[in-house]
Chain A
Amino acid sequence: MSRLIVGPFNRVEGDLEVRLEICDGQVARAEVVSPLYRGFENMLRGKDVRDALVIAPRICGICSVSQSVAAARAIAAAQGLVPAPNGQLVSNIVHAAENLADHLTHFYLFFMPDFCRPAHAGRPWFAEVGARFAAGSGEGAREMLAPRAQFLHVVGLLAGKWPHTLTLQPGGAARVAAAHEIRQLLGILAGFRRYLERTLLGGALEAFAALDSEAALLAWAEARPSADLSLFLAASRDVGLDRFGRGNDHFLSFGAYPGAGGHLFAAGRVNGNGAAALELSAISEDVSHAWLADEGPARHPMDGRTEPDPEMRAGYSWCKAPRLEGAPAEVGALARQVVAGHPLLRSLTRQGGNAEARIVARMVEIALVLPAMERWLGAIRPEDPFIAHGETPDSAKGAGLTEAARGALGHWLRVERGRIANYQIIAPTTWNFSPRDASGTPGPLEQALVGLPVASGEETPVMVQHVVRSFDPCMVCTVH
């Protein structure tokens, strides 16, 4: 048995350390360490409720709009406020722009460069993949920057800037979208669509989103060998990402992009017993292995506490261990699409979750969400209001739930004497990179790392890197 500490684990948002115990050339046990404490929940206490809309987005530079959406929903719930329909559409569009840009950033800048590591030299795809995806010099990554930046003009136009906007409010949006601006936005989406169809996927978004089985996906890639998705699949199949990185196969989604007929991607959970409705009261956070001081059993976030233990005695991470009905859960694009019942992702996870399916799920979401953005723009009625105004009662509670690119995000707000009395946040990577709980059950990534191969002499095992980054972790959210 040997031990390996991998850190700083980069190309994730923020700082990460992974501690491995290796036995017979495999990971036998993993501990995931979030080594930074920031303290946002305690900063928010005592503040004017509206200040959460300034402070909470700054938890994260990559899922800033998701934090805005969650904060706005928590306040709206506390106010009993129903957003203006136009404002809800703007919120969906701005949020979708962030989420799709994040999927693209993850694929080109964070995930694919690992295929260019010397450990893969000699593989048949190595030269081609290296030319497209090498960190800092890959042509594919470089080509992506302009269409991504132009796509984020959607946020510039509708919400001032990205990241850290204050446009999204409990009652909708702080600016109207005029009829001519909607035409300009549709043009921006058309340009982004062309890039995605030509370069990333190699075909129409709708056709890709309609793929319904593993066989159909492989046939798609075979017919379009130069698409970036196809290059990924060739490499992924060769190194076996479809067989590695299985978590605990308990998938959770809070539901993404609300509309009149429900969410675009449904809320729920799926485990070995099938699909079930989400019971929010069954969420708790355990701090037994975190450097946090709390006595007693795991708490529901509405009554949650986040008190750092300055001595950092027990535990190995600043991350709490969120649990649903006492069990860890995986969140993210794969969880969202499995819960929503997408046939391709159900097919790719027949034998359980894996690193490849997490990447494919993001591609499927890109193909599903861009057309939805076009529909939402068409549904805006520019002559109607974009915002409803509410007042926060002296005493109230509210939960704000949404789906960030990386998965389920929840804000739980309690108001007393008109000020924030308690504010607790469970971020997506808090679920995925959770430490052990009081029963010793590891978090999803800790589970997914067990069994991964480690070649002798490897100081940064390449399969560990593929699997960790397949989750698209956001450590700065985790350690809010």
Chain B
Amino acid sequence: MSAPAPETRAARNRRTLLWLQSGGCGGCTLSLICAEAPDFLTAFEAAGIELLWHPALSLETGREALGIIEAVLEGRQRLDILCLEGSVMTGPGGTGRFHLMAGTGEPMMEVIARLAQRAGHVVAVGSCAAWGGITATGDNAAGAIGLAHDGERPGGLLGRDWRDSAGLPVVNIPGCPTHPDWVSETLALLCDGALTREGLDDLGRPRAISGTLVHHGCSRNEYYEYKASAEKLCDVGCMMENLGCKGTQAAGDCNSRAWNGAGSCITGGYPCIACTEPGFEEPGHPFVETPKIAGIPLGLPTDMPKAWFVALASLSKAATPRRLRENATSDRVRVYPEGRGKKP
């Protein structure tokens, strides 16, 4: 759908947004504050967003903040978009008392559920709000779940069949944390009525995010092609074979859209842990170690026959140039590519 002209956006009603936090670290908000070109305030303004309240950014506190939430619940204040950051805390024993909303004594999960019924759209910001996330690690004694998922299982707080008035499920912006642009772009699409069911994948993630793999644009692609693998952290080779990298299976444009100006997990020297995928917090193996059976890594690319992958891998391994083989297990490039100038 085409974007409306700026004057159309300016003339229409502002889209009201309420942002709440529960069982999380606040890192998705902090990541949003790192937005550049434009900064998040400018991005919100351009999209026509009116921030009703945000726990980290608004002036209102205590009674003032509760007044805003009550106005929404009583229908006196229109709410176009409800954002939740952090897991829904259902523990202990389904009571939700692990997070009693300050100033109310009411389980936060109940406040969220009531607000969701009033909201035009509901957005889970980050993997915690989407599926439970890191707070669900281990035996999940805290009962951390997402708005419409509990790990991979549909359901969560609102139930698998929950739909907003436009027929959309909960919009899940994945990531731990979210990239600032993922949040501002998704919200802008919602404001314009331009996010459709077809624009979301089966997990409710915008395809703009999940239609790309972390692997795309990986700076170590040549090492991957030749299966020239890093053996330990700080080696420059591909981290898939030994160091647990899930970039070939994980959603996200992390290597084609820079983080903090220049970065990605891979350029930071560590593997993709698939933080955009449900259940990433319990990989079943140490995060920086690739589980293998008979020397073959588990968790190969999901849409490729395993036999083919193994055959191609052994072929490319046999063809690995000395340059890549030696550099792969070094902390920096020591054998340089030969440019055309070297040719006779």
A pairs with B:
yes
Residues of A within 8 A of B (CB): 5-11, 13-17, 33, 35-39, 42-48, 50-51, 53-55, 58-62, 64, 105, 109-110, 113-114, 116-117, 134-136, 142, 145-146, 148-150, 152-153, 155-167, 169, 172-176, 178, 308, 310, 312, 385-387, 389, 459-460, 465, 476
Bound-complex Cα distance A134 to B57 (A): 10
Bound-complex Cα distance A113 to B59 (A): 6
Is B162 close to A, CB under 8 A? Answer: no
List residues 58-84 of chain B with CB under 8 A from any CB of chain A: 58-66
Give 12 pairs: A residue, B residue, CB < 8 Å, sorted on A. A7-B101, A8-B55, A36-B89, A38-B135, A43-B137, A55-B134, A110-B56, A156-B261, A161-B268, A162-B30, A166-B287, A387-B233
Bound-complex Cα distance A389 to B288 (A): 14
Q: Within 8 Å CB of B287, what residues of A?
A: 50-51, 53-54, 166
Instruction: Tell me whether A175 and B267 are in contact (CB under 8 A).
Output: yes
What 1/0 mask marks residues of chain B from 12 to 34 whose CB sits below 8 Å from any chain A CB? 00000000011111111111011
Assuming the A-B contacts A15-B99, A61-B31, A160-B263, are A173 and B65 also in contact, with contact meaning beta carbons closer than 8 angstroms in the complex? no
Quote the shortest CB–CB distance from B238 to chain A (angstroms): 15
Instruction: Tell me whether B65 and A8 are in contact (CB under 8 A).
Output: yes
Instruction: Tell me whether B332 and A178 are in contact (CB under 8 A).
Output: yes
Instruction: Tell me whether A135 and B234 are in contact (CB under 8 A).
Output: no
Assuming the A-B contacts A117-B59, A163-B31, are A386 and B102 also in contact, with contact meaning beta carbons closer than 8 angstroms in the complex? no
Bound-complex Cα distance A386 to B332 (A): 11
List residues 202-221 of chain B with CB under 8 A from any CB of chain A: none
Is B168 close to A, CB under 8 A? Answer: no
Instruction: Tell me whether B36 and A146 are in contact (CB under 8 A).
Output: yes
Q: Within 8 Å CB of A13, what residues of B?
A: 26, 56
Residues of B within 8 A of A (CB): 21-31, 33-36, 39-41, 51, 55-66, 89, 91-93, 97-104, 108, 134-135, 137-138, 141-142, 176-177, 232-234, 258-271, 273, 275, 281, 286-289, 331-332
Quote the shortest CB–CB distance from B23 to chain A (angstroms): 6
Q: In the complex, how many residue pairs between chain A and chain B have their CB atoms under 8 Å apart?
A: 263
Closest to B143 in A: A39
Instruction: Tell me whether B265 and A50 are in contact (CB under 8 A).
Output: no
Bound-complex Cα distance A214 to B44 (A): 41
Instruction: Tell me whether A45 and B56 are in contact (CB under 8 A).
Output: no
Instruction: Tell me whether B138 and A17 are in contact (CB under 8 A).
Output: no
Closest to A460 in B: B62
Most buried by A among B55, B259, B260: B260
Instruction: Tell me whether A308 and B98 are in contact (CB under 8 A).
Output: yes
Q: Within 8 Å CB of B286, what residues of A?
A: 48, 50-51
Quote the shortest CB–CB distance from B62 to chain A (angstroms): 4
Instruction: Tell me whether A157 and B51 are in contact (CB under 8 A).
Output: no
Quote the shortest CB–CB distance from B56 to chain A (angstroms): 6
Bound-complex Cα distance A172 to B232 (A): 13
Instruction: Tell me whether B65 and A10 are in contact (CB under 8 A).
Output: yes
Instruction: Tell me whether A160 and B26 are in contact (CB under 8 A).
Output: no
Quote the shortest CB–CB distance from A3 to chain B (angstroms): 13
Quote the shortest CB–CB distance from A157 to chain B (angstroms): 5
Closest to A318 in B: B98
Partner of B58 from A7, A50, A136 at Cβ < 8 Å = A136
Q: Within 8 Å CB of B56, what residues of A?
A: 10-11, 13, 109-110
Instruction: Tell me whether A157 and B102 are in contact (CB under 8 A).
Output: no
